[in-house]
Structure 1
């Protein structure tokens, strides 16, 4: 009986490993569409439409920035209360591109996570009822002199307020930090598939702004465990999750369909019109 149980366990593990390998090979050998949108900046997209990534259709769009020389600068766009689409934030800020930011109050507006722009606090962290931090309040995107990096909560009470950078956006959870995958719990938020937005850093200094569409037949979306794999396959040694769901939007100036590259899900249609209004974004701006 024990031998039989061990045999079936071995088969199950072998099938799991095989599926993992197939996914990674499918991903890295895909014929990605690439387009230069700014100096040292590419828009890269692919639609896995044969149910061949995580046994589902998936639509992935991302921008890769070399983040040096004359490459665009990173900035944060945010409004204290008013919600706007990612495209609106991008156009108002004369940006090259924009991706939706961190979590916000859908009913009353404003971020529920700490956001600081040009040394001015736009929104403070809203802790949970038991005075604990939410999973998206334990890491930060920081920008200094147009350069973007990620930081991890140090378990102190006023951590974000003591960060020295002039531009800060809390979000999370972290997926990978300094080459090490972070531990994710099995809550529904992490485990279930949804549209996702993420930012990743590669050891060569490149920055990735990524969206995975979801809640559609054409793109199922991913869990955070699957999103971690995607960021790993792209070569990221640090990566962070941002707000997802109907917020997930990647916008590029002068692109068709009002600049929206992906297929936002808030209108439940496979088009470029379903962007949810958000409180903040990460912008790519022409270097001054």
Structure 2
């Protein structure tokens, strides 16, 4: 009996197993799979068509725009370029008259796995004034996904990190998915969730240690983080920071360094979004930072979702 005939079943079983594993990996990381199209929810953060027309008319022709700032009756954005030793980072100081201008968008207007576009492409298709990458929900099979008042995924993730909830009034709150449900969050007024983390600043205090890190990532990395400054007059004031990294010109930030920078701006809550090659800041049709996907290659990585400011 030949070797191949003798071991035919073993070879066949091994081939099936390899094929199944390969398909599983391709399905998880490569093959696009749409689950649903984006729908518009009727929430406190969603305006009527007449309100939207008024907002667009108010901004049209009245905005003052420079290479690093935008100002109209509802939105104020100022972007500065800073450095922290050997790292360059970009700070967007954002003030809004209403939480309706802080939004999220999904790649190709579709929820699913491996549905991706670059931050700039998603931002452009949504007429965003300003945008950064979101939490890349599509890289995971679990974790609550609520975007613009719609629940897209309600399976909780098992994680040591907290999620970030953004409420219809623009306020932030971090939470653990095991302590609540997606429907309970929606019922309480949550319009957007981000499941990446960790929380960087909580109640004005740094919430990470110098040894904390995301998964197997390097300590110094490109980073994206969002924070809120709770003003006494109740106005909406946000700080969004993106750092360059993984190049000779800019090594990147640790989580603790990002938390320190956020705290220095007076934020009460700050949250770490997806980083690495995903970290991208877009403003007025231009990419502000230097997204690094591979060593010294400056190029945007396609992502699942963005956070943006716009009408």
- TM-score after normalising by structure 2: 0.66
Q: Give 1:160 shift.
A: 3.7
Q: Pick from 239, 247, 253: which aligns with 2:270?
A: 239
Q: 1:121 to 1:72 in 2, by over 3 A?
A: closer
Q: Give 1:285 shift.
A: 0.9
User: 1:58 is matched with which residue?
Assistant: 87
Q: 1:76 to 1:165 in 2, by over 3 A?
A: farther
Distance 1:41 1:243 in 2: 25
Q: Give 1:187 shift.
A: 4.5
Q: Give 1:180 shift.
A: 2.8
Contact 2:163/2:177, CA 8 A, preserved across alignment: no
Q: Pick from 153, 173, 177: which aligns with 1:151?
A: 173
User: 1:19 is matched with which residue?
Assistant: none
Q: Pick from 183, 202, 209: which aligns with 1:161?
A: 183
Q: Pick from 249, 253, 269: which aligns with 1:222?
A: 253
**Which residues of 2 match residues 179-218 of structure 1 at below 5 A?**
179-184=204-209, 186-189=211-214, 192-204=219-231, 205-218=236-249
1:41 aligns with 2:76: yes
Q: 1:188 to 1:182 in 2, by over 3 A?
A: closer
Q: Could you give the per-residue CA deviations for residues 53-77 of structure 1, whole angstroms, max 9, x where no partner exists?
A: 3xx42111122111226x9710111
- DSSP-derived class of the 2:308 partner: strand
Q: Give 1:228 shift.
A: 0.6
Q: Could you give the per-residue CA deviations for residues 22-43 of structure 1, whole angstroms, max 9, x where no partner exists?
A: xxxxxxxxxxx98322334233
- DSSP-derived class of the 2:246 partner: coil
Which runs of no fewer than 5 residues in structure 1 stay unpaired? 1-32
Which runs of no fewer than 5 residues in structure 2 stay unpaired? 1-65
RMSD between aligned alpha carbons?
2.7
Contact 2:210/2:256, CA 8 A, preserved across alignment: no
1:121 aligns with 2:151: yes
Please identify, of 219-228 and 180-189, the stretch whose mean Cα deviation from structure 2 is larger.
180-189
User: 1:29 is matched with which residue?
Assistant: none
Contact 1:141/1:148, CA 8 A, preserved across alignment: no
1:75 aligns with 2:103: yes
Distance 1:143 1:278 in 2: 23
Q: Could you give the per-residue CA deviations for residues 100-134 of structure 1, whole angstroms, max 9, x where no partner exists?
A: 1114344xxx775322234322234452xxxx225
